[in-house]
Amino acid sequence: DWHPAVDPALLRQIRQDSPAGLMSVSNGAPVTYCEVNSTLNKPLIRNSFLMDHVTSMDRERTCVRTVHGQGSGAFGFFKVTHDLSHICKASFLKEIGKKTPVAARFSSGIAEKGGSELSREIRGFALKFYTDEGIFDIPGIVTPMFVVKNPLYFVEFIHAIRKNPALYLADPMKLWDFVIKYPEAMHTFLLMFADRGIPLSFANMPCYNVHSLQVENEAGEVHFIRFHIEPFEGIKHLTTAEAQKINAADLDYYTRELYNRIKKGDYPRWNVSVQIVSEEDVQKHGGLMFDVTRVLPKCDFPLHLLGEIVLNRNPTNHFAEIEQLAFCPANLVNGILGAPDKVYEARRFAYADAQLYRLGPNVQKIPVNCPLHVPTEYSESPGEPVSYESTNKRGLLKIKEEEPYNYDQAAELYENELTGDERTRLHENLILAISPASEFVRERVIEILEMIHPDLAYQVAKGLTSTMAE
Ligand code: HEM
């Protein structure tokens, strides 16, 4: 409790002495009985209670996020289990045992706010770390790669997954039209149409930031890291049929499950690891290290465990604490410089811009977005703040990005990473999703699948032929 006009002790006294349960309007004045009970046959413009009520309701909704509009979340902490200070000097990654508060939001990338949570899609999992050197955000997704590497195509992608503007109905033609134009998207879609598209619960969802973030240690040495935040309980899924069954009974299944789980103390946990890329690796592999449509192979870039995330507190007010959360890839802390690729550069701008529109110019002052600690280094003479002395001497690396090489990692995923059962479910889900598209689009999609793997193309084409014949 704080008020600029009185000291805290007096404020506490005033609050204690205030009559409990007395109705008041927004300036604190009590409301009279007749103002509350009837407006009939009275001049309304002088009824402060009514005016307060209506004007507040008129403005009580902020606009929905332009993407990832549907979502829910919780709070908890990140705990360091392994020191990473030889790679990155960010203070929240130092000292084993150190805890940093976090906010998490799980979202649907395609489904609209208020709709079903159980559709097959590329879900978002965003994390805000309230570190002692400011806020660090990871607005991540459930796949370790992204759909496009050129930010120019992002808007086209978003329009492709939205409803048809004429009919306001889902339109599979638009999605597959997009895929045949930008086949690099297929790597992400294979994972989405295999099991990753419908998780068992939020607690079984992983989070990947997909960018190779440039970091530096105290000595100024540079590395690049990709975060992998993976559930303790394992990445688990629902089949299409299971999801359809649950959907019939509960559209908010995931949110309810997360809420109940935390309420009964069964806190969801994730392991936080990073893949580390050195400057020599960058010299050797070039732009491939920064291509967000590709993964960094784990055989060459193993995971280094650094900590865990536990979510142990439900929000008490969804609007104030989750809806008004504002994640931004540009929220970085000392030691983490951002990523050199163009998708990251576009995101730096897009999130802040969207939030200025969605939440207004004071977005960082909304309590859930406020940093917990602000550096307080002041000069000898009071009133003259000095700038923070950063030892960062190097800027972001300049990279040259080549045209995407689209199929090798998708082929690797199909051939070596998916199990036989996963492959079967992938065929079934692809057949289901592609069959409503036109013959022309279906044929082009099969051509792309053929370039990834002949068996994938054969199985899907076979399934499509029998579906069409029915
Ligand atoms: C050029 C590429 C991209 C652009 C322009 C873009 C833009 C946006 C915008 C404008 C928002 C809404 C922000 C808000 O209103 O708070 C958003 C939300 C989000 N984006 Fe992106 N995005 C891009 C790529 C990505 C990538 C690569 C990822 C994941 C690695 C991602 C994950 C998310 C998530 C999880 C949210 C929801 C955050 C929340 O829960 O509030 N986006 N994006």
Residue 439 CB neighbours (<10 A): 9
| Residue 62 binned pLDDT confidence (cut-offs 50, 70, 90) | confident
* Ligand 1 atom nearest to 68, measured from its CA: 37
Please list, in sequence order, all residues whose beta carbon lies within 8 angstroms of the beta carbon of residue 189, skipping any fewer than 6 positions away: 147, 179
Q: Is the pLDDT of residue 390 over 80?
A: no
Q: 303-313 and 124-131 as β-strands: parallel, antiparallel, unpaired?
A: unpaired
The confidence score (pLDDT) of residue 297 equals 96
Q: Is the pLDDT of residue 375 over 60?
A: no
- Quote the ligand 1 centre to 12 CA distance (angstroms): 42
Crossing angle of the two packed helices 439-452 and 420-434, in degrees rounded to 10: 160
Take atom 17 of ligand 1 and give the residue whose Cα is closest: 67
Residue 369 Cα distances to 12, 327, 331, angstroms: 26, 8, 11
Which of 200, 194, 190, 191 is closest to 238 using CA atoms? 200
Take atom 25 of ligand 1 and give the residue whose Cα is closest: 347
CA 186 remoteness from chain centre: 21
Contact 247, 209 (CB under 8 A): no
Take atom 6 of ligand 1 and give the residue whose Cα is closest: 347
Dihedral pair phi/psi, residue 224, rounded to 5°: -130, 135
Q: Can you say whether residue 178 is alpha, beta or left, with left for phi > 0 and alpha for psi between -120 and 50 degrees?
A: alpha
- Provide the residue type at 315 as one letter: P
Q: Average pLDDT for residues 134-139, to the nearest whole number?
A: 97
- Averaged pLDDT of the chain: 93
For ligand 1, mutation pick of 117, 351, 366 (most atoms within 8 Å of CB): 351
Annotated binding site: 351
Question: Which segment of 229-243, 323-337, 373-387 scores lowest on mean pLDDT?
Answer: 373-387
Q: Residue 110 corresponds to which tokens in the numbers above?
A: 């395609």
Q: 99-108 and 124-131 as β-strands: parallel, antiparallel, unpaired?
A: antiparallel
Q: Average pLDDT for residues 178-189, to the nearest whole number?
A: 94
Annotated binding site for heme: 351
| Residue 213 binned pLDDT confidence (cut-offs 50, 70, 90) | very high
| Residue 19 binned pLDDT confidence (cut-offs 50, 70, 90) | confident
For ligand 1, mutation pick of 68, 106, 150 (most atoms within 8 Å of CB): 68
* Ligand 1 atom nearest to 326, measured from its CA: 16
The per-residue DSSP string of 69-89 comes to -EEEEEEEEEEESS--TTT--
The confidence score (pLDDT) of residue 121 equals 92
* Ligand 1 atom nearest to 155, measured from its CA: 5
| Residue 307 binned pLDDT confidence (cut-offs 50, 70, 90) | very high
The confidence score (pLDDT) of residue 329 equals 98
The confidence score (pLDDT) of residue 320 equals 95
- Architecture of the domain whose range is 70-368: Beta Barrel (2.40)
Residues flanking ligand 1, CB < 6 Å: 65-68, 71, 105, 107, 124, 126, 139-141, 146, 151, 154, 209-210, 292, 325-327, 343, 346-347, 350-351, 354-355, 358
Q: What are the boundaries of each domain within the chain?
A: 25-60, 70-368, 408-469
- Quote the ligand 1 centre to 351 CA distance (angstroms): 7
Q: Residue 451 burial (CB < 10 Å; 0-12/13-18/19+)?
A: middle
The confidence score (pLDDT) of residue 385 equals 62
Please list, in sequence order, all residues whose beta carbon lies within 8 angstroms of the beta carbon of residue 70, skipping any fewer than 6 positions away: 107, 108, 111, 112, 113, 114, 115, 117
Question: Which segment of 205-209, 259-263, 286-290 scores lowest on mean pLDDT?
Answer: 286-290
Take atom 24 of ligand 1 and give the residue whose Cα is closest: 347
DSSP-derived secondary structure letter, 286: G
- Quote the ligand 1 centre to 329 CA distance (angstroms): 9
